[in-house]
Amino acid sequence: MASASSSSMNLEDVPSVDLMTELLRRMKCSSKPDKRVILVGPPGSGKGTQSPIIKDEYCLCHLATGDMLRAAVAAKSPLGIKAKEAMDKGELVSDDLVVGIIDEALKKPSCQKGFILDGFPRTEVQAQKLDEMLEQRGVKVDKVLNFAIEDAILEERITGRWIHPSSGRTYHNKFAPPKVPGVDDVTGESLIQRKDDTAAVLKSRLEAFHKQTEPVIDYYNKKGIVANLPAEKPPQEVTADVKKALS
Protein backbone atom coordinates (compact mmCIF):
# COMPACT_ATOMS: atom_id res chain seq x y z
CA MET A 1 0.00 0.00 0.00
CA ALA A 2 2.94 2.30 0.71
CA SER A 3 3.59 2.84 -2.97
CA ALA A 4 0.08 4.19 -3.48
CA SER A 5 0.69 6.97 -1.01
CA SER A 6 3.89 8.25 -2.61
CA SER A 7 3.31 11.55 -4.33
CA SER A 8 4.90 10.41 -7.60
CA MET A 9 2.22 7.72 -7.96
CA ASN A 10 -0.68 8.64 -10.22
CA LEU A 11 -3.96 7.61 -8.61
CA GLU A 12 -5.32 6.62 -12.05
CA ASP A 13 -2.74 3.85 -12.09
CA VAL A 14 -3.71 2.42 -8.72
CA PRO A 15 -5.85 -0.74 -9.03
CA SER A 16 -9.49 -0.12 -8.03
CA VAL A 17 -9.40 -2.78 -5.36
CA ASP A 18 -6.51 -0.97 -3.64
CA LEU A 19 -8.30 2.38 -3.83
CA MET A 20 -11.50 0.88 -2.43
CA THR A 21 -9.64 -0.92 0.34
CA GLU A 22 -7.91 2.28 1.35
CA LEU A 23 -11.15 4.29 1.18
CA LEU A 24 -12.97 1.74 3.32
CA ARG A 25 -10.10 1.78 5.79
CA ARG A 26 -10.24 5.58 6.01
CA MET A 27 -14.02 5.55 6.47
CA LYS A 28 -13.70 3.02 9.26
CA CYS A 29 -10.93 5.10 10.81
CA SER A 30 -12.83 8.38 10.64
CA SER A 31 -15.06 7.37 13.56
CA LYS A 32 -12.13 6.37 15.80
CA PRO A 33 -11.02 8.77 18.53
CA ASP A 34 -7.64 10.46 18.07
CA LYS A 35 -4.83 8.92 20.09
CA ARG A 36 -1.27 10.00 20.70
CA VAL A 37 0.64 7.19 22.35
CA ILE A 38 4.23 6.74 23.52
CA LEU A 39 5.68 3.27 24.03
CA VAL A 40 8.36 2.80 26.67
CA GLY A 41 10.03 -0.48 27.45
CA PRO A 42 13.40 -2.21 27.52
CA PRO A 43 14.68 -4.35 24.62
CA GLY A 44 12.71 -7.61 24.50
CA SER A 45 9.68 -6.27 26.38
CA GLY A 46 7.33 -6.90 23.45
CA LYS A 47 6.81 -3.35 22.18
CA GLY A 48 7.61 -4.51 18.66
CA THR A 49 4.84 -7.13 18.83
CA GLN A 50 2.19 -4.74 20.14
CA SER A 51 2.91 -1.64 18.09
CA PRO A 52 1.52 -2.91 14.71
CA ILE A 53 -1.62 -4.13 16.54
CA ILE A 54 -2.16 -0.70 18.16
CA LYS A 55 -1.41 1.03 14.85
CA ASP A 56 -4.07 -0.95 12.99
CA GLU A 57 -6.66 -0.92 15.76
CA TYR A 58 -6.59 2.87 16.21
CA CYS A 59 -5.49 3.95 12.69
CA LEU A 60 -2.32 5.62 13.97
CA CYS A 61 0.99 6.18 12.24
CA HIS A 62 4.07 4.53 13.73
CA LEU A 63 6.92 6.97 14.28
CA ALA A 64 10.29 5.31 14.87
CA THR A 65 12.68 8.24 15.22
CA GLY A 66 15.75 6.34 13.97
CA ASP A 67 14.00 5.36 10.71
CA MET A 68 12.57 8.88 10.34
CA LEU A 69 15.99 10.48 10.67
CA ARG A 70 17.43 8.14 8.04
CA ALA A 71 14.47 8.88 5.72
CA ALA A 72 14.87 12.66 6.20
CA VAL A 73 18.59 12.39 5.40
CA ALA A 74 17.86 10.27 2.30
CA ALA A 75 15.16 12.71 1.14
CA LYS A 76 17.59 15.64 1.64
CA SER A 77 14.86 17.67 3.36
CA PRO A 78 16.07 20.86 5.11
CA LEU A 79 15.95 19.06 8.47
CA GLY A 80 17.58 15.97 6.93
CA ILE A 81 20.50 18.05 5.65
CA LYS A 82 21.02 19.48 9.16
CA ALA A 83 20.80 15.99 10.67
CA LYS A 84 23.38 14.67 8.20
CA GLU A 85 25.79 17.49 9.10
CA ALA A 86 25.59 16.46 12.75
CA MET A 87 25.96 12.74 11.95
CA ASP A 88 28.96 13.38 9.67
CA LYS A 89 30.70 15.19 12.53
CA GLY A 90 29.90 12.23 14.78
CA GLU A 91 27.60 14.37 16.91
CA LEU A 92 24.19 13.46 18.26
CA VAL A 93 21.30 14.95 16.34
CA SER A 94 19.84 17.76 18.48
CA ASP A 95 16.52 17.32 20.28
CA ASP A 96 15.06 20.26 18.37
CA LEU A 97 15.88 18.58 15.07
CA VAL A 98 14.29 15.29 16.07
CA VAL A 99 11.16 17.08 17.32
CA GLY A 100 11.13 19.04 14.04
CA ILE A 101 11.22 15.79 12.06
CA ILE A 102 8.32 14.41 14.15
CA ASP A 103 6.43 17.66 13.56
CA GLU A 104 6.94 17.26 9.78
CA ALA A 105 5.74 13.65 9.89
CA LEU A 106 2.53 14.63 11.67
CA LYS A 107 1.39 16.49 8.55
CA LYS A 108 0.95 13.21 6.66
CA PRO A 109 -2.59 11.86 6.13
CA SER A 110 -1.56 8.59 7.82
CA CYS A 111 -0.92 10.52 11.05
CA GLN A 112 -4.30 12.25 11.02
CA LYS A 113 -5.77 10.12 13.82
CA GLY A 114 -2.63 10.28 15.92
CA PHE A 115 0.62 8.40 16.36
CA ILE A 116 2.64 5.83 18.21
CA LEU A 117 6.09 7.08 19.19
CA ASP A 118 8.70 4.46 19.93
CA GLY A 119 12.26 5.18 21.07
CA PHE A 120 11.54 8.83 21.85
CA PRO A 121 11.48 10.79 24.15
CA ARG A 122 14.44 9.31 25.99
CA THR A 123 15.07 12.24 28.33
CA GLU A 124 12.91 14.64 30.29
CA VAL A 125 14.10 17.54 28.12
CA GLN A 126 12.99 15.66 24.99
CA ALA A 127 9.60 15.00 26.60
CA GLN A 128 9.21 18.72 27.35
CA LYS A 129 10.17 19.72 23.79
CA LEU A 130 7.73 17.18 22.38
CA ASP A 131 4.97 18.58 24.60
CA GLU A 132 5.72 22.14 23.48
CA MET A 133 5.56 21.13 19.80
CA LEU A 134 2.27 19.23 20.28
CA GLU A 135 0.84 22.13 22.26
CA GLN A 136 1.42 24.40 19.26
CA ARG A 137 -0.66 21.94 17.24
CA GLY A 138 -3.37 22.06 19.90
CA VAL A 139 -2.92 18.42 20.92
CA LYS A 140 -1.15 16.44 23.63
CA VAL A 141 0.17 12.97 24.48
CA ASP A 142 -2.82 10.86 25.59
CA LYS A 143 -1.11 7.77 26.98
CA VAL A 144 2.32 6.46 27.81
CA LEU A 145 2.35 2.66 27.73
CA ASN A 146 5.10 1.42 30.01
CA PHE A 147 6.02 -2.18 29.18
CA ALA A 148 7.16 -3.10 32.68
CA ILE A 149 9.06 -6.34 33.03
CA GLU A 150 11.65 -7.61 35.49
CA ASP A 151 15.23 -7.70 34.28
CA ALA A 152 15.55 -11.39 35.22
CA ILE A 153 12.62 -12.36 32.98
CA LEU A 154 14.04 -10.29 30.13
CA GLU A 155 17.41 -11.93 30.60
CA GLU A 156 15.82 -15.34 30.23
CA ARG A 157 13.86 -14.21 27.14
CA ILE A 158 16.79 -12.61 25.39
CA THR A 159 19.87 -14.59 26.36
CA GLY A 160 18.00 -17.78 25.43
CA ARG A 161 17.69 -16.69 21.77
CA TRP A 162 19.71 -18.54 19.14
CA ILE A 163 19.78 -17.97 15.40
CA HIS A 164 20.58 -20.02 12.30
CA PRO A 165 22.38 -17.29 10.33
CA SER A 166 21.77 -18.38 6.73
CA SER A 167 18.01 -19.04 7.05
CA GLY A 168 17.15 -16.60 9.85
CA ARG A 169 15.41 -19.38 11.81
CA THR A 170 15.27 -18.53 15.49
CA TYR A 171 15.21 -20.78 18.53
CA HIS A 172 14.98 -20.31 22.25
CA ASN A 173 16.54 -22.55 24.93
CA LYS A 174 13.33 -22.59 26.92
CA PHE A 175 10.44 -21.53 24.68
CA ALA A 176 11.37 -23.03 21.29
CA PRO A 177 14.43 -25.23 21.67
CA PRO A 178 16.11 -26.95 18.70
CA LYS A 179 15.89 -30.76 18.64
CA VAL A 180 19.61 -30.93 19.30
CA PRO A 181 21.08 -28.13 21.48
CA GLY A 182 23.07 -25.60 19.43
CA VAL A 183 22.09 -27.14 16.08
CA ASP A 184 19.58 -26.08 13.40
CA ASP A 185 16.70 -28.58 13.00
CA VAL A 186 16.68 -28.44 9.20
CA THR A 187 20.32 -28.22 8.09
CA GLY A 188 22.17 -29.51 11.16
CA GLU A 189 24.38 -26.40 11.02
CA SER A 190 25.52 -24.57 14.14
CA LEU A 191 23.38 -21.87 15.74
CA ILE A 192 24.82 -18.55 16.86
CA GLN A 193 23.87 -15.92 19.38
CA ARG A 194 23.65 -12.25 18.30
CA LYS A 195 26.19 -10.26 20.24
CA ASP A 196 23.36 -8.01 21.50
CA ASP A 197 21.71 -11.08 23.01
CA THR A 198 24.55 -11.99 25.39
CA ALA A 199 24.11 -11.47 29.12
CA ALA A 200 26.91 -8.90 29.43
CA VAL A 201 25.58 -6.69 26.61
CA LEU A 202 22.02 -7.01 27.86
CA LYS A 203 23.01 -6.00 31.39
CA SER A 204 24.64 -2.76 30.19
CA ARG A 205 21.71 -2.01 27.84
CA LEU A 206 19.22 -2.48 30.68
CA GLU A 207 21.24 -0.32 33.08
CA ALA A 208 21.36 2.47 30.49
CA PHE A 209 17.65 2.02 29.78
CA HIS A 210 16.59 2.32 33.42
CA LYS A 211 18.85 5.28 34.11
CA GLN A 212 17.63 7.09 31.02
CA THR A 213 13.91 6.36 31.07
CA GLU A 214 13.00 6.53 34.74
CA PRO A 215 12.95 10.36 34.68
CA VAL A 216 10.77 10.24 31.53
CA ILE A 217 8.27 7.91 33.21
CA ASP A 218 8.28 10.19 36.29
CA TYR A 219 7.62 13.21 34.06
CA TYR A 220 4.54 11.58 32.50
CA ASN A 221 3.44 10.06 35.81
CA LYS A 222 3.04 13.58 37.18
CA LYS A 223 0.62 14.21 34.31
CA GLY A 224 -1.27 11.04 35.22
CA ILE A 225 -1.06 9.46 31.77
CA VAL A 226 1.16 6.40 32.35
CA ALA A 227 -0.31 2.91 32.06
CA ASN A 228 1.98 0.23 33.48
CA LEU A 229 1.56 -3.01 31.53
CA PRO A 230 2.78 -6.31 33.01
CA ALA A 231 4.78 -7.20 29.91
CA GLU A 232 5.82 -10.65 31.07
CA LYS A 233 2.32 -11.94 30.22
CA PRO A 234 1.63 -13.76 26.92
CA PRO A 235 1.24 -11.36 23.94
CA GLN A 236 -2.56 -11.78 23.62
CA GLU A 237 -3.04 -10.80 27.26
CA VAL A 238 -0.73 -7.80 26.86
CA THR A 239 -2.81 -6.75 23.81
CA ALA A 240 -5.97 -6.93 25.95
CA ASP A 241 -4.27 -4.77 28.61
CA VAL A 242 -3.18 -2.26 25.94
CA LYS A 243 -6.74 -1.93 24.61
CA LYS A 244 -8.05 -1.46 28.15
CA ALA A 245 -5.45 1.24 28.83
CA LEU A 246 -6.33 3.06 25.60
CA SER A 247 -10.12 2.79 25.90
pLDDT confidence bin for 225, thresholds 50/70/90: very high
Per-residue CA distances from 237 to 49, 125, 245, 246 (Å) = 12, 33, 12, 14
pLDDT confidence bin for 8, thresholds 50/70/90: low
Give residue-wise pLDDT tens across range 111-156: 999 999 988 998 999 999 999 999 999 999 999 999 999 999 988 8
CB burial readout 2-32, b (16+ within 10 A) else e: eeeeeeeeeeeeeeeeeeeeeeeeeeeeeee
**How far apart are alpha carbons 143 and 163 in whole angstroms?**
35
Of 37, 180, 175, nearest to 115 by C-alpha is: 37
CB-based contacts of 83, cutoff 8 Å, min separation 6: 69, 72, 73, 93, 97, 101
pTM of the model: 0.80
Strand order in the sheet with 226-230: 61-64, 114-118, 35-40, 143-148, 226-230
**How far apart are alpha carbons 122 and 155 in whole angstroms?**
22
- Known catalytic residues? 47, 122, 161, 194, 205
